[in-house]
Homo-oligomer: A and B are copies of this chain.
Amino acid sequence: MTRTIHAVHQVSRPQGAPTAENFAFVTEELAPLAEGTALVENLYFSVDPYMRQAMDEGPVAEGHWALDAPLEGRSLGRVIESRTPALAVGEIVGHRKAWRTHAVVTPDETRRIPDLAGVPLSAHLSAFGGTGLTAWVGLTRIARLQPGESIFVSAAAGGVGSAAGQLAKLIGAGRVIGSAGSPAKVKLATERLGYDVAFDYHDGPVMEQLRAAAPDGLDAYLDNVGGDHLEAAIERLRENGRIAWSGAIAQYNSTEAPAAPRNLFEVNLKALRMEGFLVRQHMDALPELYEFLAPHLASGRVVPEETVVEGFDRSVEAFLGLFRGENTGKMLVKVAD
């Protein structure tokens, strides 16, 4: 059994956009397994926009990464050695010890991955992972999207957006409008991700493009970018509209205070609800999502949109690609078969 593992550490803090120099690949020799632990071979892990914030200086207890130390992230792995009856060799588990080829875990640090017929393993990091659950919670619990209502989703071809378009349609939404950062992503959004209409935010001011796409206004907005998208959505939302704010990738690399929407006072005038949410506070929604979505995944009606980068040595490249818009859907690193 291997005792030499590979890992990525963060070795410096970025100013603005992260670079490869902020990371280092390291090897480590594992001590023999302690009683009550198991060794997991990682198969997949996800790289996510929120990790940009973790790279900044800040308390580890609040999710910031320490330098020269193991990093966190959502992972799927197979138990290959065990000194606890709670984890059997061969079992597939989810855990948070990513950015490494192998991880030593206790049972408490893992969650069981249900074997859902016809659902591919990687879906547990995409459609059933943090991004899919974010889309589900944002649509159902925060925006409380009702059949027939119209919704705008920014970053429509991204991890959350690719799940949100398809879920919104399954919920029975009326007009589903998306924005994305390239013609290919716009095409993907309308052809495969459930969007009725989408636009490329490079083609002109978001405000103007959203006015054209939603001439009758909006009931809800699922925000993954902030900035000009948020301002345009506020303008288009009807009285009692809802904004579910799950992320702001446009701002993560900013070293200045982000531009706030100049029309924020319309939240008051139109009785809008703008609600941020943290998916970790909504883990109890996962069984609902399994029940709602698994049959559609198994039947092929819904396809989890994933960009899978193969090979642990490309982990940093995969992460940096997120900020250059190189992914469609969820960005995953495939570590082993």
Hey, which bits of chain A sit against chain B, CB under 8 A? 53, 223, 226, 239-240, 245-248, 251, 257-258, 260-278, 281
Contacts and interface: CB of A to CB of B under 8 A. Distances in A.
17 contacts: A226-B264, A239-B278, A240-B281, A246-B268, A248-B265, A257-B263, A258-B262, A258-B264, A260-B261, A260-B262, A260-B264, A261-B264, A267-B276, A271-B277, A272-B275, A272-B276, A273-B274
A144 to B, nearest CB: 13
Contacts of A251: 265
A226 B267 CA distance: 11
B271 A276 contact: yes
Nearest to A227: B265
Chain B CB count within 10 A is highest, among A223, A267, A272, A278, for A267
A248 B271 CA distance: 13
Contact of A281 (B226, B265, B271, B273): B271
Nearest to A257: B262
A45 B34 CA distance: 78
Contacts of A226: 264-265, 268
B281 A268 contact: no
A245 B267 contact: yes
A320 B209 CA distance: 41
A247 B260 CA distance: 19
A270 B261 CA distance: 18
B276 A269 contact: yes
A41 to B, nearest CB: 34
A287 to B, nearest CB: 21
Given A240-B281, A273-B275, 11 more contacts: A226-B268, A261-B264, A266-B276, A267-B274, A267-B275, A267-B276, A271-B275, A272-B276, A273-B273, A273-B274, A274-B275
Contacts of A281: 240, 271
Contacts of A264: 226, 258, 260-261, 264
A273 B276 CA distance: 6
A274 B260 CA distance: 14
A134 to B, nearest CB: 11
B274 A278 contact: no
A239 B266 CA distance: 24
A240 B260 CA distance: 20
Nearest to A256: B262
B258 A265 contact: yes
Nearest to A62: B269
A248 B268 CA distance: 8
A269 B257 CA distance: 14
A266 to B, nearest CB: 8
A221 to B, nearest CB: 13
A272 B267 CA distance: 14
A183 to B, nearest CB: 29
Nearest to A263: B257
Contacts of A275: 267, 271-275
A265 B256 CA distance: 12
A261 B265 CA distance: 11
Contacts of A278: 239, 271
